[in-house]
Structure 1
Amino acid sequence: MAIKEKQLFQTMFLLATFIVCVIEISNAQIQRVSDDEWEMVEKKGNQFIIGDWPFYVNGFNTYWLMIFAVDPSTRAKVTDVFQQASSAGLTVCRTWAFNDGGWRALQKSPSSYDEQVFQGLDFVINEAKKYKIRLILSLVNNWEAYGGKSQYVRWGKQAGLNLTSEDDFFSDPIIKGYYKAHVKNILTRVNTYNNVTYKDDPTIFAWELMNEPRCLADPSGDILQAWIEEMAYHVKFIDRKHLLGIGVEGFYGSSTQERLLTNPNTYASKVGTDFIRNHLALGIDFASAHIYPDSWLSSTVSDSYLQFVESWMEAHIEDAEKVLGMPIVFGEFGISSKDLKFNLTFRDEFIDRVYKTMLNSTRKGGSGGGSLIWQLFPEGTDYMDDGYAVVLSKSPKTCDIVSLQSWRLQNFNSRCSWRCHWGCRKRGHQDVFDYNGEL
């Protein structure tokens, strides 16, 4: 066969393969959306799956959903977030399943709950399913916002315990009992909107032990590690169906001295977390890491952000695959509009770099399980903005980037694309879908 004829044949073959893939993907996606069955997300090796389908995450954070759902005057904003996210193809939302003490507290005191606020969380879960969005529910905060570990310690002091540090949260048996009771109360809650117990609800993608745990009182990491192991066992004892993550920022510790230079600064190795060691705990199903170069490196936007994104993500994806044997979710990533030299064009470049680094893993069947932007807001919630808010309706270019990544991952989430992808690789051809979603 002449060279030109051979090239023409290969081009026609790829084009035919692409067309078949698109048709089968469209039919499969329609079938998935119309199915009455809403299956639990599971883990198989270093991949997320639903049934026998691969499942890659393009998602977002909106932490305040439960609080907004309590008040009828703001409840529509919850629907707005899910509606806009679904329109952009986003499939997972990470949000708080806690508010300890203070205003509109879910947990007013240990194991004492405000039923109206709990029904707000019920609404969030029920509403998420309507838009085919799954939830990662975090169970407590490391930080003081929404109560956090410091509120648990205050409760302990009010009960007469001799506590000297907020990090006693991780070691005091009474305080740990408070947290365990909260976990049980959340997991065994029966949703008042659909009568489904949380621990049986496939709308929940995963539980997360804590938002960004740190234990400064013990830089060795022993105290936090013991807490992770104990609480992972506790969660799995109650609920063996759902996946479980930790919620750590991904800093490397003493168990991997060779990785310490990957950390954004020397301080990161002294906050009591250890990426590899933490995720080897029995019961942890997937790894987590966050990406905040403006907080960790410098508050001045520069190309160093983009360089850090790649090296940080690639190191964690490699370790998740080769050492941990599990998927990894980059549960938060963002840059703030308050940073020096910030502009929307650079934010789009930052988001795109995260997405493309993730896609590099996806295309190879690696451990990159997904990423969740911090944070998605609907219009009219500007007063809640911490500088990281992304309002898709006001940022059409950003919306295009987010939607394109969703489209890419939907292709990989289909049986057809998976078959075509590996078939083409075996034949030595280029991948059917490149970065632009084109042949």
Structure 2
Amino acid sequence: MDVHITILLLCILLVYNPHTVCFSLGLNEHQVSKHRFDDMGPLEDEPWTMVQKSGNQFVVNDQPFYVNGFNTYWLMVFAVDASTRGKVTELFQQASDVGMTVCRTWAFNDGQWRALQKKPSVYDEDVFKALDFVVSEARRFKIRLILALTNNWDSYGGKPQYVKWGNEAGLNVTNEDDFYSHPTLKNYYKAHVKTVLNRVNTITNMTYKDDPTIFAWELINEARCPSDPSGDKLQEWIEEMAFYVKTIDPKHLVEIGLEGFYGPSTPNKVPYNPNTYCQQVGTDFIRNHQVLGVDFASVHIYADSWMSPPISDAHIAFTKSWMQSHIDDAETYLDMPVIFSEFGVSAKDPGYNASFRDNLISTVYNTLLDSARKGGSGGGSLVWQMFPDGTEYMDDGYAIILSKSPSTTKIISRHSTRLTLFNSLCKWKCHWGCKKKHELDESHYHDEL
């Protein structure tokens, strides 16, 4: 049998029975995930190029790129201090070892402890150099970054800090949501965007807007505008800011940072929201993502905090329906990928146990695999959140420390291995002259996975 066919069949079997395949190759699952088929011959190292969007899928070097990633928001702050900087390296190493390829983190810290932006357009160079370090270390471990540019919440400053700066400057701002409409506050935000995107990394000497390490820019974490439930105020801000980011950096992808709540434009979808309050926060999933300059959709999943405690099977059922609804929307209305960019369950929840967390993570992963089999819009997920050893004091209840979570680590690693297969199938087949995406979608191998 041709060696390429043999290895491809082994890869297909790997999705169902990793132990058997790894044994036949003389490897354990950890090694397969870590090396990502690098030693198996036909797969060459690819150049480090930008992630792009082709229809409803992410692509790198014209091949599918399905995401298994994580959140760790505090990397820049830890990188400022020499005593904690090593934790950034440690985390990227551990994430790389289990095959994770994308990290979402903050590219802002407004007016607070170790602030990046101390006042509007006034920056702490030491903190900026710490962000340079985060970007350079991510590249070293082949991990791409989604960088959020501000926060809806007061953690790390965010929207409330911009409004505070406005008040200090004598502006007539009375509501935090004035962030979205007051010209001066919008200019403060634009100035920050321009500064970050044009930053020249002091370690790599590469401008951020030219660096393929950056997967995408996120406009704002968990945007909400409850003062205008119609959604018009936030919609106008998204339209303005997505366009502005693209005028500075047309190369990178842009996403909003939404939680995924349905709003007034789609009353038939409102019942999918986890509670009635969600339709009053000024966001509108489909309408918001139809904006020019927005490249992919973002959704968060927090059944444990959105629904009544204690945690139960109802939270798993909600997770499935919430994900499928947004995958369907991304395919039917948006023609773009969707990333479930935060999901998790808190160890502080009533009824929590590690088995439930593993079940939740497996549910998210399996739903995405079902989409990938069909060439659908389920582009990936980012668990909230990954911590290295020794950072437990930062834990908000959601932290996953791989060294202390063997069952969870196994689930993450196996999912990475499966996504590596999906990302690699086209290249394997192209050794026999395939037509890339179209034959991949129609392949009986693809359907059998």
TM-score by length of 1: 0.91
Q: Is the Cα contact below 8 Å between 1:135 and 1:206 reproduced in 2?
A: yes
**For residues 163 and 184 of structure 1, do their structure 2 counterparts lie closer, same or farther at Cα, with a shift above 3 Å needed?**
same
AA partner of residue 372 (structure 1): L
| Cα distance in 1, alignment partners of residues 84 and 283 from structure 2 | 37
**Which of 101, 104, 108 is 1:98 aligned to?**
108
AA partner of residue 18 (structure 1): L
| Cα distance in 2, alignment partners of residues 31 and 120 from structure 1 | 38
| 1:194 and 2:185 are equivalent in the alignment | no
| Cα distance in 2, alignment partners of residues 59 and 44 from structure 1 | 20
Instruction: Tell me how far 1:94 sits from its aligned partner.
Output: 0.1
| 1:294 and 2:304 are equivalent in the alignment | yes
Aligned to 1:319: 329
| Cα distance in 2, alignment partners of residues 429 and 102 from structure 1 | 52
1:254-311 deviation digits (Å, cap 9, x = unpaired) = 1111100000011000000000000001000000000000111123110001100110
Instruction: Tell me how far 1:432 sits from its aligned partner.
Output: 4.7
**Which of 378, 391, 395 is 2:405 aligned to?**
395
| 1:355 and 2:346 are equivalent in the alignment | no
| 1:135 and 2:145 are equivalent in the alignment | yes
| Cα distance in 2, alignment partners of residues 205 and 321 from structure 1 | 21
Q: Which moved more, 1:391-400 or 1:415-424?
A: 415-424
TM alignment of 1:148-167, pairs within 5 A = 148-167=158-177
Aligned to 1:210: 220
1:169-193 deviation digits (Å, cap 9, x = unpaired) = 0000000000000000000000000
**For residues 257 and 16 of structure 1, do their structure 2 counterparts lie closer, same or farther at Cα, with a shift above 3 Å needed?**
same
Q: Is the Cα contact below 8 Å between 1:287 and 1:328 reproduced in 2?
A: yes
**Which of 283, 295, 298 is 1:285 aligned to?**
295
| 1:41 and 2:66 are equivalent in the alignment | no
Aligned to 2:285: 275
| Cα distance in 1, alignment partners of residues 278 and 131 from structure 2 | 33
| Cα distance in 2, alignment partners of residues 57 and 118 from structure 1 | 27
AA partner of residue 151 (structure 1): Q
**For residues 364 and 155 of structure 1, do their structure 2 counterparts lie closer, same or farther at Cα, with a shift above 3 Å needed?**
same
AA partner of residue 152 (structure 1): Y
| 3-state SS, counterpart of residue 254 of structure 1 | coil
| 3-state SS, counterpart of residue 101 of structure 1 | coil
| Cα distance in 2, alignment partners of residues 430 and 200 from structure 1 | 34
| 1:26 and 2:26 are equivalent in the alignment | no
AA partner of residue 278 (structure 2): A
**For residues 45 and 183 of structure 1, do their structure 2 counterparts lie closer, same or farther at Cα, with a shift above 3 Å needed?**
same
**For residues 416 and 51 of structure 1, do their structure 2 counterparts lie closer, same or farther at Cα, with a shift above 3 Å needed?**
closer
Aligned to 2:380: 370
| Cα distance in 1, alignment partners of residues 443 and 173 from structure 2 | 64
Q: Is the Cα contact below 8 Å between 2:8 and 2:428 reproduced in 1?
A: no
Q: Is the Cα contact below 8 Å between 2:238 and 2:256 reproduced in 1?
A: yes
1:3-54 deviation digits (Å, cap 9, x = unpaired) = xxxxxxxxxx99775148789x83598787744x310000000010011111
Q: Is the Cα contact below 8 Å between 1:96 and 1:139 reproduced in 2?
A: yes
Q: Is the Cα contact below 8 Å between 1:140 and 1:209 reproduced in 2?
A: yes
Aligned to 1:241: 251
Identity, in percent, stands at: 61
1:191-215 deviation digits (Å, cap 9, x = unpaired) = 0001000000000000000000000
| 3-state SS, counterpart of residue 82 of structure 2 | coil
**For residues 113 and 255 of structure 1, do their structure 2 counterparts lie closer, same or farther at Cα, with a shift above 3 Å needed?**
same
Q: Is the Cα contact below 8 Å between 1:424 and 1:430 reproduced in 2?
A: yes
Q: Is the Cα contact below 8 Å between 1:18 and 1:432 reproduced in 2?
A: no
1:289-334 deviation digits (Å, cap 9, x = unpaired) = 0000011112311000110011000000000011100000000000
AA partner of residue 46 (structure 1): N
| Cα distance in 2, alignment partners of residues 376 and 382 from structure 1 | 11
| 1:309 and 2:300 are equivalent in the alignment | no
**Which of 108, 122, 127 is 1:117 aligned to?**
127
Instruction: Tell me how far 1:431 sits from its aligned partner.
Output: 4.0
Q: Is the Cα contact below 8 Å between 2:219 and 2:255 reproduced in 1?
A: yes
| 3-state SS, counterpart of residue 323 of structure 2 | helix
| 1:53 and 2:63 are equivalent in the alignment | yes
Q: Which runs of 5+ in 1 are unaligned?
A: 1-12, 434-439
**For residues 117 and 267 of structure 1, do their structure 2 counterparts lie closer, same or farther at Cα, with a shift above 3 Å needed?**
same
| 3-state SS, counterpart of residue 255 of structure 1 | coil
| 3-state SS, counterpart of residue 308 of structure 2 | coil
**Which of 263, 269, 272 is 2:273 aligned to?**
263
Aligned to 1:145: 155
| 3-state SS, counterpart of residue 93 of structure 2 | helix
**For residues 217 and 399 of structure 1, do their structure 2 counterparts lie closer, same or farther at Cα, with a shift above 3 Å needed?**
same
| Cα distance in 1, alignment partners of residues 235 and 266 from structure 2 | 15
AA partner of residue 413 (structure 2): S
**For residues 299 and 30 of structure 1, do their structure 2 counterparts lie closer, same or farther at Cα, with a shift above 3 Å needed?**
farther
Q: Is the Cα contact below 8 Å between 1:412 and 1:418 reproduced in 2?
A: no
| Cα distance in 2, alignment partners of residues 278 and 257 from structure 1 | 15
**For residues 176 and 187 of structure 1, do their structure 2 counterparts lie closer, same or farther at Cα, with a shift above 3 Å needed?**
same
| 3-state SS, counterpart of residue 196 of structure 1 | coil
| Cα distance in 1, alignment partners of residues 159 and 238 from structure 2 | 14
Aligned to 1:178: 188
| 3-state SS, counterpart of residue 259 of structure 2 | coil
| Cα distance in 1, alignment partners of residues 180 and 166 from structure 2 | 12
Aligned to 1:6: none
AA partner of residue 228 (structure 2): D
Q: Is the Cα contact below 8 Å between 1:424 and 1:432 reproduced in 2?
A: no
| Cα distance in 1, alignment partners of residues 441 and 134 from structure 2 | 42
| Cα distance in 1, alignment partners of residues 342 and 292 from structure 2 | 24
AA partner of residue 205 (structure 2): N
Q: Is the Cα contact below 8 Å between 2:42 and 2:428 reproduced in 1?
A: no
